[in-house]
């Protein structure tokens, strides 16, 4: 395994209700340490994130892009690079193939990065939809425990955060 598909909110950064202000970005505990360990070991990172606030009209694509650019800057300062990010701007009521757990974001990544193979990928997220996406793709799944979201869909691994993900992956 050498590719990580990462949810953003609640996985890399602390989840805030409809994050639209880049100044509100804060890393989850252990996220930087975990990503740094994995980056140093040669892992490549992709973000796959649902952003229903856009579909609800709560914030714009421009707001989302500003938050992503700030996240990239913050990670870059730590020596961590995100290869690419995909996002779904739709809310649950809109019909689309990109909203997790549907596989549209995966298909988009596969078009850009044909070397991506499910057996080489790990999906990491804090919601049922993240784990189900990983299962739909056929990759290994890590479920980050969340007080906010019910943990009904179990991943292959249940962890506290990205630092624990790194410890497990680097010892497989």
Active site residues: 7, 9
Q: What is the DSSP letter of 59?
A: S
Q: How far apart are CA 50 and CA 87, in angstroms?
A: 6
Run of H or E including 83? strand 82-88
Instruction: Answer yes or no: are the C-beta atoms of 153 and 143 closer than 8 Å.
Output: yes
125: β partners: 143
Residue 113 CB coordination number (10 Å): 13
Q: How far apart are CA 131 and CA 140, in angstroms?
A: 9
Q: Is 130 in a helix, a strand, or coil? A: helix
- List of long-range contacts for 130-135, beta carbons under 8 Å, 24+ apart: 130/7, 130/11, 130/100, 130/101, 131/155, 132/100, 132/101, 133/5, 133/48, 133/100, 133/101, 133/102, 133/103, 133/105, 133/106, 134/5
């Amino acid at each position: 395994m050498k590719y990580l598909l990462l949810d953003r909110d609640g996985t890399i950064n602390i989840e805030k209700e409809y994050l639209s202000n880049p100044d509100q970005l804060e890393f989850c505990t252990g996220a930087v340490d975990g990503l740094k360990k994995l980056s140093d070991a040669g892992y490549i990172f992709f973000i796959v994130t649902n952003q229903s606030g856009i579909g609800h009209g709560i914030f714009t694509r421009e707001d989302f892009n500003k938050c992503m650019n700030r996240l990239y800057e913050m990670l870059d300062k730590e020596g961590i690079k995100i290869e690419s990010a995909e996002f779904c701007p739709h809310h649950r009521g809109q019909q689309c193939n990109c909203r997790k757990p549907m596989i549209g974001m995966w298909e988009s990544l596969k078009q850009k990065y044909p070397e991506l193979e499910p057996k080489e990928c790990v999906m990491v997220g804090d919601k049922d939809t993240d784990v189900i996406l990983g299962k739909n793709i056929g990759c290994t799944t890590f479920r980050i425990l969340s007080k906010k979201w019910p943990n009904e869909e179990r991943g292959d691994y249940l962890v506290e955060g990205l630092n624990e993900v790194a410890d497990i992956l680097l010892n497989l």
